[in-house]
Structure 1
Amino acid sequence: MSIITKIKEVFRRLFTRQNIQSKINTTIAVSDKMAAAIDLWTRCYKNHPPWRYDENGKEKVKTLNLPAIIASELSRLVTTELESSVENKTLDEAYQTVVRDLRHCCELGCAGGGLAFKPVPENGRISVDYVSAESFFPTDYDTNGDITGAIFVDKLTKGDTVYTKLEQHRLEGKQYTIRNYAFKNETQDPDVTIDLGRPIPLTDVPEWAAVEEEKVIAPVLAPLFAYFKMPGTNPIDKTSPLGVSCFAKALEQIEQADRQYDRLLWEYEGSELALDLPADWFAFDEVKQKWRLPEGKERLFRVHDMDDDENSRYNIFSPAIRDASLFNGLDNLLKRIEFNCGLSYGTISDPQNVDKTATEIISSKQRLYSTVKDIQLALEDALQHMVYAMSVWMNLSGQTVPVGPEVTFNWDDSIVIDKQAELLAMQQDVASGILRPEIYLAKKYGVTEKEALKMMPDTEETVDEGLTVSDPNSGGNTDEIKHSDEVEAAEEIAGKTLNGAQTQSLLGIIGQYSKGELTLGQAINLISVAIGISKEEAKKIIEGSE
């Protein structure tokens, strides 16, 4: 990457913004500082940070590609096991395509500070364009900071020619106007285009030939696009309606981490084993003008003019490696990056080096939970608005669907809740007799309590729809003295004293079994789980009560 290219990249978004404003006579609500910041985030996400190359375009610092890793990991945590649907079947079919792509969309939004969802009618169907930050220019926003007008940039490159389409959306009252403009540029580097070029008809580009130059829709209550904005204050421009990248607060530490990583690699390379040997040990290749070294072992040998002293004819170069201190320094930087990005310790740093006191673990998980939850709420808002826009376009295309139907969301909560630990705690509650076994099974396998009952051995034959298997009172009056013998016998078989809850569960199950409400297999399984004993011991207890 040459210095000229780097300068062009730095000012590309600034010049593009000014170019757009002059070409279509509009005002873009993006400051110079915000435009430069978005360009920087985009370059860092693509692993081209400004500190990676020197002025000649030669790589001078090896990078960890942390911006992309952070955005990717956050999007994974945000969208893991997401279940979302629209109550209208026709809309839901189109919506599920977006749900499947949501992790990718979330990653782009996290990296660039935001992302626009733009529904597009195509051949009687609705698709959705995902417009990243560098191609989205807001023009209007209301007092709440919600964007009501924007320009979407679409580029096509054919050889050395760059075609650009500007799609302008604007909501005024309840009237919605969409205007499209096309431009052609044959003089710029296709990879770093600043000038839009000259205006051309949309029909000159086959891909845009069917696009209308202007379309007015009314009544419309909200923009026909949705903007997913990363949560949090924008410290770069407090008046901007745009969001801030997930790694914006950690860019300085990310640069330091890259430089530390580069030092670590250099330490490994600089301390490689080598043999310093005299030149007369090797033949010289006159054609290639270099010493002939053993093939594949060239890095091991270093040829020098050496003294004839037998003791100094060769030297083994094998210095000690200082990797431990360098790695610890890198790991501390990674932890600072995690903190600044709202991640828990161990997300990108070495999890083996994370302090593990209960308070620190909870605090770290809560920080990540807050970050993820805020992003999920922002996504919900954007997707709800997107569905409204989809419903408007569907009705315009002749399909009758409810406008702005309800969208349901079910997010995974395993970030702060260790599911295995939770299930273990529930299992212990069942063994203590304070939780019904079917509730535990329902949680573990994601089924209803009725389905959980049927999953238990023999239950499909006799389970009554209204039966509560572990109700301690379902087997009759457990307070009667006659049951004391059964409890004593059970304790003797189990080899332990039962607490009050276990006693109540035991007597309830025996009572239900004696009434024929439970089969033998059911009763054995329930007693085994409720008291925490083997099935053989549970069977002996049942047989002793008969």
Structure 2
Amino acid sequence: MKFTRLLTLITEVLNKDSETKIDACLTSQMARDIELWSRMYEDKAPWLEKDKIYSMGIPAAVSGELARLALLESETEVTGGTRADYLNTQYKKAIRYIRQQLEYGSAKGGMVLKPYVTSTGISVEYIHGDAFFPINFDSSGKMTMCAFASQLRKGQKIYTKLEIHELTNGLLRISNRAFVSTNDFSLGSEISVGSVEEWSELSGSVTFSGMDRLPFGYFKVPLANNSDSTSPLGVSVFSKAIDPIRKADKRYSQIDWEYEAKETAVHIGESMLKYDKTQDRFIYPDGKDRLYRGLQFNAGATDKPLLDVFSPDIRDSSYYNGLNHQLRLVEFNCSLAYGTLSDPNNVDKTAEEIKSSKQRSFDMTKDMQGALQEALEDMLVAMDFYTSIYHLAPVGSYQTTFNWGDSILSDREKELAAMQQDVTAGIIRKEIYIAKKYGVSEEEALKMMPPQQNDPFGIQEE
């Protein structure tokens, strides 16, 4: 069932049972945008045509690169005591493949990190932007009501489960409702959630006190929502580059057609070919059907040669320049450094523009790390909550540490220049600067320095 259709049906169910009409913050326009981002990520953009316009895979490349940069040097753990050790074990298990999940979430505007208890501990379900339905947010931007939908097909019947989380005045209510239908146009009739074998262990509704947030983390792409400025929801990392991506796909397809259309061929008169009656076709020399093209020449003085080589010039340079221009626009609108997708050897940008583009990428990476850290911290609060509810570990506290690294978030040239100034000022030793610049140990840096040399920093050691 389409995301937009399911949103409409869920809203109808909630409004039917509510005294006041629920105005879902996930508007129909946002739902359509999420569907579009998902299709683009899966190489199913609406402008693609079989054998005519192909996908370059740009949405997946952009999402994957930003996820890679955000997690390149990340380290995180839970510390404290026995309870913290238990949480850390479950936490490490949950984030083992977080890079792939961050890529999906980045493409679809966000994702929910929802812990749940199993027979072996606590697992985490990653639910992407096209599979959950935010209903309400508070003034601080925290989600206070959300619906999750899952469907099963058994024969001609479609079973739908709605899991609704709602936070009101410190009370957390989690309810499960089930429906059965024979079509994709409605949820159908409501049935007991326990009547479906796969959901038989779920309770209809349960309420917990003392909660100040929903029991999951919510990662929101840290970009302004240019689709709906009033919406608290996140947007795809490539939401501002949809048109450049469309044009890049078109330019890429034009290049492919240029090579295919200009492929060398030999036009040969059919009178020179042997005809195979059993196959009802002409037999080309050495079976090279792709190279030869049989033609019928009319008799007369205007006849062309019986063998005519077709090998026109390929206009690839112009097309590649056009494609490269679109890729630069994609990089700019997706906060990627120039050369990430485009040709890095193209030097039509000034050095300052290149440096600015790198800084833009650094800033986006830092913002994504901050958003992910907030989601992980909320996820851990939920894991700690379930640990208490189900008595999975002794009572205790925990601390979470995050180390994102700094090589991605700092400009190396500026860092080395600052270190050189520190050497000149006598704040740090020369070998520390050399070790940093060349990526060696301080001992190796000392060996690299000649025993007798003029001090390039103008410092006279005592």
| TM category, shorter | 0.7 to 0.9
- In the alignment, structure 1 residue 195 sits paired with structure 2 residue 186: yes
Contact 1:117–1:227 (Cα < 8 Å) also in 2: yes
Larger RCO (CA under 8 A, 6+ residues apart): 2
Are 2:354 and 1:361 aligned?
Answer: yes
Structure 1 residue 394 corresponds to structure 2 residue 387:
yes
1:264 equivalent to 2:252? Answer no
AA aligned opposite 1:40: L
CA deviations on 1:505-530 (whole Å, 9 max, x unpaired) are xx5xxxxxxxxxxxxxxxxxxxxxxx
Residue 380 of structure 1 is matched in structure 2 by: 373
Q: 1:351: which partner in 2?
A: 344
Offset at residue 259 of structure 1 (A): 0.9
Residues 230, 375 of structure 1: 8 Å contact kept: yes
**1:433 and 1:501 in contact (8 A); partners too:** no
Q: Shift of residue 69 of structure 1?
A: 1.1
Cα distance in 1 for partners of 2:106, 2:121 equals 29
Alignment of 1:150-165 (within 5 A): 150-158=146-154, 161-165=157-161
* Aligned partner (choices 236, 239, 242) of residue 245 of structure 1: 236
Of residues 203-212 and 137-146 in structure 1, the stretch that sits farther from structure 2 once superposed is 203-212
1: CA distance, partners of 2:438 / 2:177:
54
Give the CA deviation at 1:343: 1.0
Match of 1:533 in 2: none
Shift of 1:235: 2.2
Of the three residues 42, 47, 54, the one matched with 1:62 is 54
Q: For 2:171 and 2:435, locate their aligned partners in 1 and report how far apart those are by CA, in whole Å.
A: 51
Which residue type is aligned with residue 223 of structure 1?
L
The answer as to whether partners of 1:180 and 1:213 remain within 8 angstroms in 2 is: yes
For 2:34 and 2:4, the matched residues in 1 are separated by 10
Q: Aligned partners of 1:333, 1:230: CA distance in 2, in Å?
A: 23
Aligned to 1:171: 167
In structure 2, the CA distance between the partners of 1:437 and 1:100, relative to structure 1 (3 Å rule), is farther
Asked whether the 8 Å contact 2:114–2:216 carries over to 1, the reply is: yes
Q: How far apart, CA to CA, are the structure 2 residues paired with 1:132 and 1:500?
A: 54
Q: Which residue of 1 aligns with 2:67?
A: 75
Separation in 2 of the partners of 1:320 and 1:147? 59
Equivalent residue letter for 1:380: Q
CA separation of 1:20 and 1:300: change in aligned 2, threshold 3 A: same
Residue 147 (str. 1) matches residue 137 (str. 2)? no
One-letter identity of the residue aligned with 2:207: V
Name the CA distance, whole Å, in 2 between partners of 1:286 and 1:209.
68
Could you say which residue in structure 2 is the equivalent of 1:225?
216
Please tell me the residue identity of whatever aligns with 1:201. S
CA change 1:437–1:133 in 2 (3 A) is same
CA shift for structure 1 position 348:
0.7
Which deviates more, 152-161 or 103-112? 152-161
TM-score w.r.t. length of structure 2: 0.87
Give the aligned partner of residue 460 of structure 1: none
Deviation at 1:124, TM superposition (A): 5.7
Residue 10 (structure 2) pairs with residue 20 (structure 1): yes
Gaps of 5+ in 1: 1-8, 188-192, 458-468, 470-490, 508-546
Partner of 2:96, secondary structure, is: helix
Cα separation, 2, equivalents of 1:195 and 1:345: 47
Q: For residue 57 of structure 2, what is the amino acid of its counterpart?
A: N
Within the alignment, does 1:112 sit opposite 2:108 as a pair?
yes
Q: Which residue of 2 is the match for residue 540 of structure 1?
A: none
SS of the residue aligned with 1:16? Answer: helix
Taking the aligned partners of 2:156 and 2:232, their CA distance within structure 1 comes to: 35
Q: Give the Å deviation of 1:109.
A: 1.4
**Aligned residue runs from structure 1 range 256-295, under 5 A:** 256-294=247-285
Change (3 A) 1:499 1:291: closer
The separation in 1 between residues aligned to 2:457 and 2:420, in whole angstroms, is: 17
SS of the counterpart of 1:242? coil
Question: Going by fraction, where is strand more abundant, 1 or 2?
Answer: 2
1:503: Cα distance to partner?
A: 4.2
Q: Determine the C-alpha separation between the residues in 2 that align with 1:216 and 1:20.
A: 21
Distance, in Å, in 2 between the alignment partners of 1:263 and 1:498 is: 58
Q: Which has the higher helix share?
A: 1
Q: Which SS does the other structure have where 1:265 is aligned?
A: helix
| Amino acid paired to 2:12 | S
What residue number does 2:40 align with?
A: 44
Which residue, 189, 204, 215 being the options, matches 1:213? Answer: 204
The counterpart of 2:78, out of the listed 81, 86, 89, is 86
- For the residues of structure 1 that align with 2:331 and 2:257, how far apart are their CA atoms? 25
Rounded Cα–Cα distance in structure 1 between residues aligned with 2:382 and 2:272? 78
Does the aligned pair in 2 maintain the 1:307–1:313 contact within 8 Å?
A: no
Compute the displacement of 1:391 (Å).
Answer: 0.5
1:197 Cα offset (Å):
3.6
Matched, 1:317 2:307: no
TM-aligned CA deviation for residue 180 of structure 1: 0.7
CA distance in 2, matches of 1:400, 1:444: 47
CA distance in 2, matches of 1:401, 1:438: 49
Distance 1:262 1:365, change over 3 A: same
C-alpha spacing 1:443/1:155, structure 2 compared with 1 (3 Å): farther
Distance 1:430 1:99, change over 3 A: farther
TM-score of the pair, normalised by structure 1 = 0.74
Structure 2, unaligned runs of 5 or more:
none
Q: Structure 1 residues 499 and 330 mapped into 2: Cα distance closer, same or farther (>3 Å)? A: closer
| Matched letter for residue 358 of structure 2 | K
The separation in 2 between residues aligned to 1:230 and 1:390, in whole angstroms, is 23
Contact 1:120–1:128 (8 Å) recurs in 2? yes
Aligned-residue identity in percent: 38
Contact 2:359 2:411 (8 Å CA) reproduced: no
Aligned residue runs from structure 1 range 387-466, under 5 A: 387-400=380-393, 405-417=398-410, 435-436=428-429, 439=432
Q: Offset of 1:354 from its aligned partner?
A: 4.0
Q: Which has the larger radius of gyration?
A: 1
288, 298, 311: which is aligned to 1:297? 288
